[in-house]
Chain A
Amino acid sequence: MTETSADKLAALQAARDAISDAGRPEAVAKRRAVGMATARERIDKLFDPGSFQEIGGLVEPDRGHEMSRDLVAPADGAVTGTGRIGGRPVNALAQDFTVLGGSIGTVADAKCGRLVKFSRERGQPMVMLLEGGGHRIQDGMNAAHFAAASPVFRELASLSGWVPMVTAIMGQGFAGPTAYASLCDFVVMLRGKSTMGIAGPALVKAGTTTEITKEELGGADRQADAQGIADLAVETEEECLNAIARFLSYLPQNAGEAPPVIPCDDPADRRDDGLLDLVPADSRKVYNMKKVIQAIADTGSVFELKPGYARNMITAFARLGGRPVGIFANQPMRKGGILDAAACEKAAHFIAMCDAFGLPLVSLIDIPGISIGPAAEDTGLGRRSGRLFFEMGIATVPLASVVLRKGYGGGYYAMGGGRAFDATIALGWPTAEICAMSIEGAVDVAYRKDYEAAPDPQARRTELIEMIRGQTSALDAASGFGLDDIIDPRDTRRILIDTFANSPARRADPAPARLRPISPI
C-alpha cells in the first residue's frame, strides 16, 4: 500500500513526539526526582512564548564505530535553535543531561557550530544552557574521531566582541561546559546545584588521589565568589534564566549596533540629598559605594556583575536617563577599596566588554592605591594590574571619571582619574583628595630625615602631614586643571546624563594602524 502525505506527516509527528518531554516520561521523571528542569523546559522559559524555532531536533548520534554502535541520543543531547528574548532574536543551545549525561557528541558539536554561524553572520547573541560531562567518552576514546578535534573553540572565539555570549551552568559543568563558559562574556550558575572546573571529583581522584566533593571542588563558593569564573550565582533556575535576559537587555545585538536606550521615568535632574552625607569627609571612615551607585543611576537599573568576587571593586551595568552604561567603582567597605590583582582583572574584563558593545563607562574613584607587599607581589600584581591600564588605554567609549574621595597613586591612574586616559569628563566631589601616595606614607618616605632632625620629631611630622594635606584638596586639583570641574554630589546624575548625551559614541583612538594590541596577560 502506498504511503500518503498524511502518513508521512504522521511519521514526522511521531519522530517529533519521540524527542519531546511528553515522549520521554522516564527522562522527565529523573529530572523531577532531583528538582531540576528538562532542557526543553529551560528553552521554553528562556524565550518569549512561542518564539523558539528548533534546528537539528531530528538528528541521530554518530554511530560510526564499535563503541557507539548502539547509542540512543535524542537530538544528540542538545536542543538548539533561535528564539526571541525581550523581542530580539537570540541563538541558544541547551544540553540535555538525560541524554548520555549531557555529553557532547559529534553531531551536537556540529549543531553548536551552526548556531555560532547564525550568531556571527546574523549578528545575534549566543546563549548556552549547559549541564553535562563534556566530550562524549564513546566518541572521544577513538583517535579516528578525536584526532580531528572540534573547531568549537575557534568558532566561539570568532564571536568574542561581536555578539554577546552567555553561558548558564545549570548543573554539573566540569570540563567541556566550563571550557565553553571560559569564552563567554557572562556566566551564571546555580548556588548549591551547579559545578564548574577543569575536571570533576572522579577524575581528580583518579589523577591526583585527592578526594573532594563536587560542591567543594567546583561549587559557587569557589567558582563564583572566590575565583570569579562565574559572574553570578543565583538560587533558582528561574532566577538564572531571568539573569540572562537581564544581562542581554543592556547590550546591543552586536557590536555594529548602538546599545538599547529605553524610556526613563526617573528625572535626569533628580538630586539625592543622601549623597551629601554618604561620603564622610574623614578619610579614615569607610562607606558603602553601592549606595552612591544606587543614588546616581536610574531607579532599579543597577545590575551587578561578579558581586561576590573581588568585592573591593564593584562592576555593574546600569542606566542613566535610559542609556545603558558600565560603572566600575572602588568599594571602601572591602579592603578599603584597594586595587589587588583580582580587582584589576575584574574591572579590566568589564571595561573590555563595555567597550566592545559601546556602553559608556563611569569610574567612581575612592582608591587608597594598588596593593603592596609580598602577598600582593605573589599574585603577579605588577603584571596583572597592567591589564587594567591596558583595557583603559584601548577603550574608546565615552568615559566619565568622578573622584569621590581618595585618588592615590597608580590606582588613580588605573581608574582613569584626571587626564590619565583622556576621560570625556573628569570630575571631583568636594571631598576629593588627590596625590601620589598616602600622605603619611609620603612624609615617612621623603621627609623622615627632616622630621627626625627636628626638636620635636612627632610635631614636625604632623606639621608636614597637615601641610601636604593642605595641597591635595578638590579645589587644588581643579586649580591645576587636572579635573574639569568640582561638582555638588547631587548633580552627578544630571551631569553624567548630559555628558553622554552630548558625546559621540566613541572617543578618538590615538593608536596608529596596527594588526592588534597585545594584552599584558
Chain B
Amino acid sequence: MSLINVESELAGTVWSIPVSPGETVEEDDPLVMVESMKMEIPISAPRDGVVKEIKVAEGDLISAGQVVVILES
C-alpha cells in the first residue's frame, strides 16, 4: 500500500466533494469537482484506492498543483 497525493491540474474553486474519507474508489472516479472556466471539472482518482484524507473544503480557492486528496492505493 502506498499513499498518493492527488493534485489539482488547474486553479479554481472547490465546487463539490463527491467522496468521503474511508470510501473505496476506482480509477477515474471523481474525487473533487472544481469550478474553473465556467465548468465543473473532476479531479479523478489516478488509480483504485481508498480515500485517506480530503485536504480541501467546498468553496476553497485552489491552485494548480495543490494536493486535494490523499489516496491509499
Contacts and interface: CB of A to CB of B under 8 A. Distances in A.
Interface of A: 283-286, 312, 332-336, 338, 368-369, 373, 375, 438, 440
Most A CB within 10 A of own CB, among B11, B38, B39, B44:
B39
Chain A contact residues: helix, strand, loop or mixed: loop
A286 B40 contact: yes
B64 A283 contact: no
Interface in B1-43: 9-11, 36-42
Contacts of A440: 38
Contacts of B36: 336
A338 B10 CA distance: 10
Nearest to A308: B46
B44 A333 contact: yes
Most A CB within 10 A of own CB, among B10, B41, B64:
B41
Contacts, number: 38
A408 to B, nearest CB: 10
A493 B14 CA distance: 37
A519 to B, nearest CB: 27
Contacts of B40: 284-286
B42 to A, nearest CB: 6
Contact of A286 (B9, B10, B42): B42
Contacts of A332: 39, 41
Interface in B30-62: 36-42, 44
Given A333-B44, A375-B64, A283 B38 contact: yes
Interface residues of B, number: 12
Contacts of A373: 11
Contacts of B39: 283-286, 332, 336, 368
15 contacts: A283-B38, A285-B40, A286-B39, A312-B9, A333-B41, A333-B44, A336-B36, A336-B37, A336-B41, A338-B10, A368-B37, A368-B39, A373-B11, A438-B37, A440-B38
A18 B41 CA distance: 60
A334 B9 CA distance: 8
A335 B38 CA distance: 12
Nearest to A312: B9
A493 B40 CA distance: 29
Contacts of B42: 286, 333
Contacts of A286: 39-42
Given A283-B39, A335-B10, 19 more contacts: A284-B38, A284-B39, A285-B40, A286-B40, A312-B9, A332-B39, A332-B41, A333-B42, A334-B41, A335-B9, A335-B41, A336-B10, A336-B37, A338-B10, A338-B37, A368-B39, A375-B64, A438-B37, A440-B38
A335 B41 CA distance: 7
B4 to A, nearest CB: 11
A368 B39 CA distance: 9
Q: Nearest 4 CB-CB pairs, A to B?
A: A336-B39, A336-B37, A368-B37, A335-B10
B35 to A, nearest CB: 8
A333 B39 CA distance: 10
